[in-house]
Amino acid sequence: MENKTFDIAIIGGGIVGAATFYKIQQRYPGLKIILFEKEPRLAAHQTGHNSGVMHSGLYYKPGSLKAKNCVRGREELVAFAKENHIPHDVCGKVVVAAQESELPYLEKIYHTGLENGLSGIEKINARQIKEHEPFCEGIAGLWVPYTGIIDYVAATEKMAEIAQLIQPESEVHLNTEAKSFQKDGAFDLIQTDKGVFRSRYLIFCGGLQADRLARKDQVSVKEQVVGFRGDYYELTPEARHKIKNLIYPVPNPDFPFLGVHFTRMTNGDIECGPNAVFTFKREGYKKTDFDWKDTFNALGYKGTWKLFFNNMSFGLNEYRRAFSKKLFLKTLQRLVPSLTMEDIRPGRAGVRALLLNESGDTRDDFKIEYKDTSIHVLNAPSPAATASLAIGDNIREMAAEHFKLN
């Protein structure tokens, strides 16, 4: 397969890569596009290990890429799921304040949601919380009807499938890792473990490997990706009746994650989680997974230590909970007090990519940059899966402008 030539090569087969493939191919059906994924299936990492929630746009700073793309992307994703028979359900969620100190933050996200166009959200009291979730206890809450659940793996696979139907000469290569990139006149040579390919343009949607891929493409990136593992528990079949749909806590504004929540999955399972702990392997899903390179890179970066010091108490609590079923249950019982040790069992885990700057702050918004003949998605944390089709549009527009597509 030496020097096979394409118009665009997309590196990374998560939902953002697949949505980019789909959106560009849809707009430019004549282009030959190749998508590389190093794993044996699409959506193998962040996409396939997330909570399966379609977010509403409730939490994100008004006017930010996250806010705009989440709201627009969710609407488009629901339409895509309906049209293509992707398992999904716009079931709504409750955000619950368990104590009075959380009420100001609940009020803040309510007004953020309104600014982001979510006019249907409602403030609810303790009795109304129970109308939605009979086993949930709280003093006040929000009802968010826009939130839903979806099979993100199925959506990813369908996007890639449709793109290939539009242009049969476009290709998806699984088990194919793009290792290096080199200029060859008007083309980029892509050295993979399955041979060399040529492409006029490159689009990188590398997720957990985004910073490394950028540097391989000679892009200067000051920030660094650091991985945080999220562990889930799941309810036993006997306890699933205690959760109808989705229950979220009020997020702590000092912590860069939304907190442990309850999610009904599209297959009927109920997941509880995730927590957030530093991982010693970017693509490691077990508590004991370890990689020297990943650990050295993360712990050798001052931004990681700044994040640790700025969130010391939260980090210690997260680690304790990661290794203690009792402590994890105690967190769950803040919202559903009737849960017992017998009701929960260990579930799966995921790893989230955080792009940290040197001061230890997470880059809260999406970050997509171009250089020469390349576009790099450097930061696409949650709600990127929800927003994937809107992000695909952003990348398509950027490609049209800078790659002069026709």
User: What would the pLDDT profile of 200-227 be if each residue is shown by its tens digit?
Assistant: 999 999 999 999 999 999 999 989 999 9
Report the pLDDT value the prediction gives residue 363, as an integer from 0 to 100: 61
Confidence of residue 10 (pLDDT cuts 50, 70, 90): very high
Beta strands in 239-373 (DSSP E): 246-249, 261-264, 270-273, 277-278, 344-356, 367-371
Q: Distance (Å, rounded) from C-alpha 318 to C-alpha 324?
A: 10
Question: Hey, which residues does 406 pair with through a beta bridge?
Answer: none
Which residues in the chain are classed under CATH 3.30.9? 224-242+254-362
Confidence of residue 146 (pLDDT cuts 50, 70, 90): very high
* pLDDT of 323 over the 90 cut: no
As given in the structure block, the two tokens for residue 111 are 């007004």
Report the pLDDT value the prediction gives residue 3, as an integer from 0 to 100: 65
* pLDDT of 348 over the 50 cut: yes
* pLDDT of 156 over the 70 cut: yes
SS3 label, residue 289 = coil
Question: Hey, which residues does 372 pair with through a beta bridge?
Answer: none
Residues 236-295 pLDDT 10s = 999 999 999 999 999 887 676 778 899 999 999 999 999 889 999 999 999 999 999 999
Report the pLDDT value the prediction gives residue 1, as an integer from 0 to 100: 44
Please give the mean pLDDT across all residues of the chain: 94
Q: What is the percent of the chain where pLDDT is above 90?
A: 86
Contacts of 168 (CB under 8 A, 6+ apart): none
Judge: domain 224-242+254-362, CATH 3.30.160: no
Q: Distance (Å, rounded) from C-alpha 376 to C-alpha 398?
A: 11
Contacts of 223 (CB under 8 A, 6+ apart): 211, 303, 355, 356, 357, 358, 363, 378, 379
Considering the domain 4-47+153-223+364-402 in this protein, what is its CATH number? 3.50.50.60
Instruction: Please report, as a single letter, which amino acid is at residue 249.
Output: P
Contacts of 95 (CB under 8 A, 6+ apart): 58, 106, 109, 141, 142, 144, 248, 249, 250
Give 98's DSSP letter.
-
* pLDDT of 141 over the 50 cut: yes
Confidence of residue 302 (pLDDT cuts 50, 70, 90): very high
Lowest mean per-residue pLDDT among 62-76, 120-134, 169-183, 309-323:
309-323
Find the mean pLDDT for residues 89-94.
98
Q: Distance (Å, rounded) from C-alpha 232 to C-alpha 345?
A: 9
Contacts of 343 (CB under 8 A, 6+ apart): 235, 236, 238, 239, 242
Report strand pairing: 374-379 vs 367-371. Answer: antiparallel
Axis crossing angle, helix 152-166 with helix 65-84, rounded to the nearest 10? 80
pTM for the structure as a whole: 0.95
* pLDDT of 4 over the 90 cut: no
Q: Distance (Å, rounded) from C-alpha 355 to C-alpha 282?
A: 12
Report the pLDDT value the prediction gives residue 44, as an integer from 0 to 100: 97
Q: Distance (Å, rounded) from C-alpha 378 to C-alpha 270?
A: 32
Report the pLDDT value the prediction gives residue 311, as an integer from 0 to 100: 80
Question: Hey, which residues does 122 pair with through a beta bridge?
Answer: 143
Confidence of residue 361 (pLDDT cuts 50, 70, 90): confident
Closest-CA residue to 47 (of 148, 134, 156): 156
Which residues in the chain are classed under CATH 3.50.50.60? 4-47+153-223+364-402
- What would you measure as the largest C-alpha separation in the chain, in angstroms? 68
